[in-house]
Structure 1
Amino acid sequence: MATKHNKKKNFFENLSSKVTIAVGSTTAIVLAFGSVLVWAVLGPVFHYSEAWQMVINTGTTIITFLMVFLIQKSQNKESMAVQLKLNELVAAHEFASNRLVDVENMTEDELKVIQKYYTKLKLKTQKEESLQRSHSIEEASQMHDLKKDIEDRVRKKVKK
């Protein structure tokens, strides 16, 4: 059974979803443009008074204030959905680095460390013959270490 808190949450969730869809519609754009046009046409009627100017200023300020929060809520929800989809892809791919699951919650310093790994990965794989080959960070490091070990063994044998 839904609690009072859940009903309130669902109400606001549903309201914000419906308002987001409505304000992103062609009808909303036409209404906004029409409102500004009506306001502009009424300028001479009200002798471009302060009250006439205050109507558009107040209206746009209120709408902008509310829209900032609505846009942020929609963007947060969309971002979370995209991150969850990406997390699923990373988690499902056998060669992907699982350290990237939930990467959006890492600190900036942690992200810079991972960025350095990928820079190294790029440098290590630039010498690959095939552009179609994919590597995880770990796989590239292991391959690099393996190649280095083989190279060292060859050098030792050549020196003998």
Structure 2
Amino acid sequence: MAKVTGRAGKDRPDVFTRFTTRTARILGHAWVFVAAVAVLIIWAFTGPLLGFSDTWQLVINTSTTIVTFLMVFIIQNTQNRDTAALHLKLDALMLELKVSNAKLYDAENEGEGEIERQRQRIEHAAADGEQRAP
């Protein structure tokens, strides 16, 4: 993620990051969902008035396609940043707890098979720890 240095020398996210974060936050509100449903209801009620024409159908098809296309990028960007931040926090916790398994630090870059093997190993270790506890 690119950063821009602010007035006080603090780094702040770039314009795209600020835009996607703000947009995702706004579009995640219930009132946006209600507004989208209202638009669909209005569109449906205009069908009989416009004779259910091809243009009437094209309006909703084109609109929803464009919104969906753009939202994929916004959601993916925010999800990528959230996941990276989560990995950073987990890595910091693992470092503080002195976890030395390098495969765990890089688990997000492993294949499904290796992740499943590591999960099973940890699950067995946890079960063994429970059996030893009084």
The RMSD of aligned alpha carbons is 3.0
From 57, 66, 72, the equivalent of 2:70 is 66
Shift of 1:129: 3.9
TM-score (norm 2): 0.76
Q: Aligned partners of 2:22, 2:122: CA distance in 1, in Å? A: 46
Structure 2 match to 1:130: 132
SS in 1 for 2:43: helix
Shift of 1:67: 0.7
User: Which protein is bigger by CA-based radius of gyration?
Assistant: 1
TM-score (norm 1): 0.65
Q: Aligned partners of 2:22, 2:74: CA distance in 1, in Å? A: 11
Q: Which runs of 5+ in 2 are unaligned?
A: 6-12
Q: Aligned partners of 1:116, 1:65: CA distance in 2, in Å? A: 36
Greater share of residues in strand: 2
The answer on 1:83 being equivalent to 2:87 is yes
SS in 2 for 1:44: helix
Task: Tell me if structure 2 keeps the 8 A contact 1:87–1:102.
Answer: no
Q: Aligned partners of 1:113, 1:25: CA distance in 2, in Å? A: 34
Q: Which runs of 5+ in 1 are unaligned?
A: 3-8, 133-160
Greater relative contact order structure (CA < 8 Å, 6+ sep): 2
